[in-house]
A and B are shown apart, each in its own frame.
Chain A
């Protein structure tokens, strides 16, 4: 187990390094620079600015410098917000993004599993159809439209929740709800099909033949194996959540990491974008690792397979 972990960790580090390298060069290949504006300073002054941030050095030496800085976890100040260090910007945003993302994942999968269970109990019935449709509606419209309509309805129609901001627990509710839509839909569909598949297996038929109630069979015997595909997609699901959070953070004015990523990209704030990309990669790797660990414990047969 620990050998496996070590191996995975090593592979993750290589992936992170590769992502860093590719991202660095893609970012720097994009046209325009962080200090471009409507008005240009005279060339001498512009050179002085670039010198200050080492942007005039050859690209490969900048790459090595950046790599070293990041290994020390000290990438220096942001280019657009030079009053702040990239590390502290990300450190301030991370807990917020994690809270929203974690809550959404938790809420989404819980509701999804529940819906999937109900749908599987009533396969082919109207409740099943309804759940399938509802589960799909959440992933059939751009998130920003859903969020926009929700704000109009809840904040202005009903006047229940603040439309945006990051002040209190109520301001968490709508962002989490919006973000939870996609995981809920995906979980519901995966669990439903997993349960249907399992319930046609011999063990389930035997159990039902013994007179155990269908719900009990599904819940006690089929649910665990049916969760395997869901757990296997937790990594990509978390990644999709991050993409979703870019939109949600913008609409609800939440100071998470996603906003730094998009705005950093648009402003060519090189160290900030690299930081956000790295953070994202590390999180993705962690989620995949976690999902794999859960898979191992859910499905012992994979153990021999993996090592």
Chain B
């Protein structure tokens, strides 16, 4: 393993700091002295940022600051769900496809193609209604199933990347030599090729997470995302869109959630790029 090396530029460091801060805040939000995200005061609806409400209030007079903090928890959980399935399913699928015979590779990648073409919106509708009334729901499982959907959608890009790399690596001299020496192919895959893939996997995960978060926001836009009273950055983005019109511009409703979302995703994207150039010796200069 190569040692992680910070680049000369301070930007990736800043990104890491921001992401760690977000993570920390999300984790400790319940013990922070902020208002509950669901304390409504309808008479204070649409108050601009100021006394009492640092970042203003929304349509029910709820504190936007606390909603952003609480929203970060569910958004990060979505991200974690996406990253988790990508790491488990995506990596193993890609590895098995790329390291196998041309035939196996072919059908496994066909399955990936297939999954990419199936209308996800229906899966979301379907799972939401399956979740309802079942034991899932009472354990807060509506949300859990939502995470499953995000996971299902976002392991395929990882599988594609890993498969491509695996195929390239499997043709390297050392892999060919190991095969010739009679090392079982599964051993080559998991013990020799996988460690070499870690940089790629890491980069792909940082790039998949922003897509998961954007997808969550997209589902919220369609009314299929995280449901009230739960709050996520996706639902906040949706609320922001509601006021983006020439009549009612409650700018704080747009500005602050956008900043939170954009800075976090930007940090992830930039970090992903920086990681890639850092971990790939050819990109170092």
Contact = CB atoms under 8 A, between A and B. Distances in A.
A189 B221 CA distance: 28
Given A133-B270, A189-B273, A193-B283, A142 B119 contact: no
Contacts of A265: 119, 121-122, 125
B240 interface: yes
A174 B183 CA distance: 57
Contact of A196 (B214, B263, B283): B283
Interface stretch (B43-51, B83-91, B172-180, B274-282): B274-282
Nearest to B118: A22
B113 interface: yes
Interface string A124-163: 1000010011001101111111001101100010000000
B182 to A, nearest CB: 26
Interface residues of A, number: 52
B117 interface: yes
Interface string A186-213: 0001000100110110000000000000
Contacts of B125: 30-31, 265
Interface in A11-69: 11, 14-15, 18-19, 22-23, 26-27, 29-31
B60 interface: no
B23 interface: no
Nearest to B119: A277
A284 B117 contact: yes
Contacts of B270: 132-133, 136
Contacts of A148: 240-241, 244-245, 254
Contacts of B285: 123-124, 196, 199-200
A252 interface: no
Interface in A50-104: none
A297 interface: no
B249 A140 contact: no
Given A129-B9, A284-B116, A142 B249 contact: no
A11 to B, nearest CB: 7
Contacts of A273: 119, 122
A114 interface: no
Interface in B138-171: 157, 160
Nearest to B234: A142
A140 B119 contact: no
A110 interface: no
A156 B247 CA distance: 10
Given A30-B125, A193-B283, A197-B282, A141 B258 contact: yes
Contact of B126 (A30, A140, A145, A261): A30
Contacts of A137: 262, 266
A21 to B, nearest CB: 10
A170 interface: no
A257 interface: no
A23 B116 contact: no
Contact of A145 (B121, B129, B237, B276): B237
A124 B244 CA distance: 37
18 contacts: A18-B110, A18-B114, A23-B118, A26-B126, A133-B270, A136-B270, A140-B269, A141-B258, A142-B218, A142-B261, A143-B214, A144-B237, A151-B244, A189-B273, A200-B282, A261-B121, A277-B119, A280-B117
